[in-house]
Structure 1
Amino acid sequence: MQEHEHVASEIALSVLLDNVPGKVAGAARICNVSVRAVYKWISHGRLPRTDYTGETNYATKLADATGGKHSASEFLSCNKINLSKGYPIHG
């Protein structure tokens, strides 16, 4: 079961955004950013740094828009996944 939960936590941001009404344009409207900004998030595979540091709350807004289908932590897990994969750990 834990293996399945791990897979579920690695849902790509683009897949999560597909469940937001209006998809990319809807996400832009909900977060009060441009459509281009949302496409930038998708290309980076994560929400902006400001959401990860708590300066913005896009994950919560987007999760609310999915009507409970996805949680804010799922949106934020895209950040953690990509940040951890983007910086190799040297031992």
Structure 2
Amino acid sequence: MNPMQKAINAVGGRTTAANLLGISYVAVRKMEAKGSLPRTDYTGETNYAQTLASNSNGLITTDWLMDKANPKHHTVAA
């Protein structure tokens, strides 16, 4: 299970995550498939990690998700 799958499951699934984050179900599915947060969470434009952690009933933390779901760790070889 990748970190995004764990975070999404912790808040109750894709639909709940989409509602919490104010984004589409498809956008959540893409983050889950990539296993990483979008770049915007690391530039301060969004706070998805914080929102997911705050609604996870203590199953994940913001720091853990920011570390484990960093897109730099999930680059695809060409």
Please, what TM-score do these two structures have when normalized by structure 1? 0.72
How far did 1:16 drift? 2.2
Higher relative contact order (CA 8 A, sep 6+): 2
Residues 63 and 70, structure 1, Cα contact 8 Å, conserved in 2: yes
1:86 to 71, 75, 78: 75
Q: Shift of residue 87 of structure 1?
A: 7.3
Q: Is the 8 A contact 2:34 2:74 kept in 1?
A: no
CA offset at residue 68 of structure 1? 1.8
Which runs of 5 or more residues in structure 1 are unaligned? 1-10
Note the residue ranges of structure 2 that are not aligned, 5 or more in a row: none
Q: Are 2:35 and 2:74, in contact at CA under 8 Å, matched by a contact in 1?
A: no
Which of residues 44, 48, 57 in structure 2 aligns to 1:58? 48
Give the alignment's Cα RMSD to 1 decimal.
2.1
Aligned length: 77
Percent identity over the alignment is: 32
Cα distance in 1 for partners of 2:68, 2:8 equals: 12
* TM-score normalised by the chain length of structure 2: 0.82
The structure 1 segments of at least 4 consecutive aligned residues displaced by more than 6 Å after TM superposition are none
* Partner AA of 2:11 in structure 1: V
Greater gyration radius? 1
